[in-house]
Chains A and B, each alone.
Chain A
């Protein structure tokens, strides 16, 4: 019998954790960020011989140093958060919507079209309503197409949504060429710079803050909506059931196809709205860079926050803080952007890595001495 028992126990075993208290989870996450900051500090010191604390201080200044910077940080957080809010229902349903970039872009194109053709013709409130409708509809359409194909022919939505991005990018390039201003410059420039037709109104009279307020408020509203939609509404409940098990959903008499289509309409629509906020409220221009990778970064935000909209606020704030801080240290210390990208990478690696330790427990092989009494 003894040689059966002598099957070698692996040095390290990984066991799924159950019922971990949520505060321990947050402790692990905080620990991961702390560890990441330590490694970053080590990196900064060995490479540049700068005092890491000063570098961190400069990062904080870059993100929150003045009222205006703080608002820019909030605005950029809102832009990222908005996309994450759009992705949350799709991902919660386990529908891998990698196509947010494209959905943002088509929303941006529709918005830019409204600004260019209607901005100086219609009153502002009407233009804004048309822009909101047009951008969310086009984003919704961009999300609906892959969902339709999936529910009809079982196509792979990960690839499909990804491919839709490339179509949207080319479409944007086409419209940039169509609308380029001045002609031949390959950029659209600031749309309606003199008339400000179709620009989202500024709130407050401090010109260093007023342009950033409305986008933040819109996204805050969306955040509250998404939180209750996913948690308290019947549709939100259906989404989580479909996400857990399609068969259960079917067994419970839910129309899975309908839920998938409806959710992707919502998901794409919100991403399209992100394009609207970006074009009408922030940049007032359209280019293939309008989405700027947010469509992918937002996936991290949605997952890390476990689709809780309020937690998403903090995750997007962390990512934007890193980004702002990064460009500030580039400016203050002549470190170029690559250095800050490395730091961002280290921090993300730790934060994402910590999820592993929250979900799994690592067990090392016990010493023989300990084992013997049990045997």
Chain B
């Protein structure tokens, strides 16, 4: 017992010593953060990456690859990346991770999940000499700190193109007489299912773009959306897809990160049901070789090349950044064998129009909506005013309707994170479903 006591006493004293040392540390510690070990050769910068998952998870893999490609493009001798994998986004884990990266000498820190945002902001407030980017975050504009930014891709554009692919398939099925009454609703609209994660703007913007993409090819469609309330839940996503298939949906798409839905579709397709899937983030042909049409994807290397490039030049990173086809930051994966003939030609056409800006995804002449809080429509149901949430408090305050279209992902004027959360006609949300 006495020995333990003595040990404890030593420990106590040691602790007291550290407390005493703390202020003294400051003089040497903070300015060149960390001392010798963290010193970087001239011209070389260290960047930190805080990731919600690791390479085994599609969403994070896309970020890892984006950063790696960016570093390759900019010169591997100029940039060193320090990775933090599996950093939870519903605890404060991002904060100690960020400070640890600062201590290791990182001058730029990126995080890839929405929930990391406020903890990154805390780090940004405490370490003004380091730049922090909460990718997919939405409050940078409101927070107005010189060292805190947000970034997002205009994913809705690639969703629209994946919708075009699905629309061509539906048109082929209709023309070929492959659909039965079960696949149509009472008004003769072809049924589509969409497995969403959460009822946020990011998801709403995505599925609306997908729906409008289909409609641009084949007009008579109706889409059901159900939410799993999780970004990654293979079982719930699979179950939602199966419910859609049982209901007669012909195409199932998703905004959730697992392969649950495509796997379910593939099983039913192989068993003889007419059903196809459109994925997200990763090529689904591996899990659904006969039923996958394509996936909407992001190429994060475009953003990371921009941001790390700015860092190398010593120039500021935009507070908000959102690019789509104009910068090849989004796209679709390889077309599956199930796709309708000439899909590739049509896709190239649509992509070129999006790139040139001649096609607007949320063209107000292509859909109708109901009057609601923050939404004004004319006598034909055409949207004339839509108040979107730009400041990140989840209530709309800024009109984002421009001449003839809703201006989604305008990072310069509004913000980088999606803010299109308008519910349009023809899409039914199963909000009571879990």
- Chain A residues in the interface with B (C-beta under 8 A): 66-72, 74, 181-187, 189-190, 193-194, 203-210, 213, 216-217, 220, 282-285, 287-290, 292, 308, 310-311, 313, 327, 330-331, 334, 336-337
Contacts and interface: CB of A to CB of B under 8 A. Distances in A.
B96 A187 contact: no
A177 to B, nearest CB: 11
Dominant secondary structure at the A interface: loop
A289 B4 contact: no
B370 to A, nearest CB: 21
A282 B92 contact: yes
Contact of B100 (A69, A70, A193, A284): A69
Q: Which 7 A-B pairs have the closest CB atoms?
A: A204-B22, A189-B118, A283-B92, A184-B394, A206-B26, A183-B394, A190-B118
Contacts of B433: none
19 contacts: A67-B21, A69-B103, A72-B100, A74-B15, A183-B394, A189-B119, A203-B19, A207-B26, A208-B30, A209-B18, A210-B22, A213-B22, A220-B12, A313-B11, A327-B84, A331-B84, A336-B56, A336-B86, A337-B54
A208 B21 CA distance: 12
B353 to A, nearest CB: 33
A181 to B, nearest CB: 8
B5, B84, B103, B395 interface centre (most CB from chain A within 10 Å)? B103
Contacts of B82: 331
A71, A190, A216, A311 interface centre (most CB from chain B within 10 Å)? A190
Contact of B92 (A184, A203, A284, A288): A284
B121 A66 contact: no
A142 B83 CA distance: 40
Given A283-B92, A284-B92, A337-B86, A209 B22 contact: yes
B92 A185 contact: no
A89 B356 CA distance: 71
Interface in B53-105: 54-56, 82-86, 88-92, 95-96, 99-100, 103
B92 A208 contact: no
A206 B22 contact: yes
Given A182-B394, A330-B86, A336-B54, A206 B29 contact: yes
A72 B92 contact: no
Contacts of A184: 200, 394
A289 B90 contact: yes
Interface of B: 4-5, 7-8, 11-12, 15, 18-19, 21-23, 25-26, 29-30, 34, 54-56, 82-86, 88-92, 95-96, 99-100, 103, 114-115, 117-119, 121-122, 125-127, 138-139, 198, 200, 392-395
A289 B87 CA distance: 13
B5 to A, nearest CB: 7
B126 A207 contact: yes
Contacts of A72: 96, 100
Nearest to A70: B18
A310 B5 contact: yes
Dominant secondary structure at the B interface: helix
A41 B29 CA distance: 34
A282 B95 CA distance: 10
A186 B118 CA distance: 13
A68 B395 CA distance: 40
B29 A220 contact: no
Given A185-B114, A220-B12, A287-B90, A68 B22 contact: no
Contact of A292 (B4, B91, B200): B91
A283 B95 CA distance: 8
A203 B22 contact: yes
A185 B115 contact: yes
A68 B398 CA distance: 43
B22 A205 contact: yes
A184 B22 CA distance: 40
B193 to A, nearest CB: 24
Given A183-B395, A190-B121, A283-B91, A206 B23 contact: yes
A288 B90 contact: yes
A308 B103 CA distance: 36
A205 B26 contact: yes
B91 A290 contact: yes
